[in-house]
Amino acid sequence: MANIVSFSNFVIAAIFNSNYLTHWKNRGVCQHHPALTFFLSTITRLNVHLGKFDIKSFSALRSLTLGYPNLQQRNSIRPENFPYLEYLSLSYPLEDTVLLNLIFSDAFERLTVCRFDRTSANHSWSRSPKIRSLSISVHTSYEIIYVFRACPNISRLNLIVYPTPQINLSLSLPKHSFSCMNFHLRRLSIRSTIEMLPSIFELTPNLEWLTFDDIRCYNGLENSQMAFKNFS
C-alpha cells in the first residue's frame, strides 16, 4: 500500500513539476511502471537509494544522486545517456576507473558539481575545466595533485585525505612548477593532518575560506575542527 501511495504522489507531482525529485528506496529490482515512461523525457532530477533501478532512460537529467549504485547504474552514467547532466553525487567507495576517467577528462560537457565518497585519483586524468565544485576522498597526498591538475577551475573543494607515511605534500611537487597550483579555489573544507596544511596553502594561493578537521581525532576531542576566512 505504501508503495502505491508513494508512486501516486510521484505521478501527481510529475504532472505539475518536471523537476520533481524522485526517491526510490527498494532493495529489489524495480522496473519502470508503464505510467512512468510518459515522464522519462521531462524528469530532470533523480535520487535513488539502495534500489536496482534502471536509470538509463532518464535522458533529460540535470541532477543525479545514487546511494550505493550497482554496476548497471554506474555503467549507465555515460555522456551519451545524460548529455545535460550538471550535478552528480555517488555515495559509495568509487573505484570505477572508466567512469572516473570520463568525468575528469571533460566527457560530460555540462557537469559542474561532483560529490564522491572514497575513490582513487589517477594521473591519467586529463582536464575537466567545467567542474566548479568537488567533494572527494583520496587515499594518498599525491592524489591531491591529480585532482588539482584535472580540475583547474574549481572554486569549492571538500577533501578527505587518508593518512599515509608521507605527510609533506610538497615532496611530490616538481620544483617551481605551477601546473599543480589552483588559482580559482576560494573555499576549502579538508579532513587531514595539520602537517599537510602548509603544502595545501602553497597550492591554493587565493584561498579565502578554510575549514580544517584533524583526521587523527577519532575520540570526539574538542577543537579538532578549525575554520579560517579572508586569508589575504
The count of residues in the chain is: 232
User: What is the reported pLDDT for 165?
Assistant: 59
Q: Report the pLDDT value the prediction gives residue 31, as an integer from 0 to 100.
A: 54
CATH of domain 2-229: 3.80.10
- SS3 assignment, position 201: helix
Given this model, what pLDDT does residue 20 score? Answer: 47
* DSSP string covering 121-133: --TT----TT--E
- In this prediction, residue 9 carries a pLDDT of 55
- So what's the pLDDT on residue 155? 97
- The mean pLDDT of the chain is 79
- Count the neighbouring beta carbons within 10 Å of the beta carbon of residue 170: 14
**pLDDT beneath 50, residues of the chain:** 2, 4-5, 15-16, 20-21, 28-29, 167, 170-174, 176, 220-222
Longest dimension (CA), the chain: 65
Q: How far apart, in whole angstroms, are the C-alpha atoms of residue 148 and residue 179?
A: 9
Residues 6+ apart with CB under 8 A from 203: 144, 145, 148, 169, 173, 180, 181, 182
pLDDT value at residue 2: 46
Cα three-residue angle 223-225-231, rounded to 5 degrees: 115
Instruction: Look at residue 84 in the predicted model and tell me its pLDDT.
Output: 97
Please tell me the predicted confidence (pLDDT) of residue 75. Answer: 93
CA–CA gap between residue 108 and residue 102 (Å, rounded): 7
From the number of C-beta atoms within 10 Å of its C-beta (0-12, 13-18, 19+), residue 2 rates as exposed
What pTM was estimated for this model as a whole?
Answer: 0.81
How is the chain split into domains, by residue range? 2-229
CA-to-CA distance for 118 and 82, rounded, in angstroms? Answer: 23
Which residues pair with residue 191 across a beta bridge? 160, 213
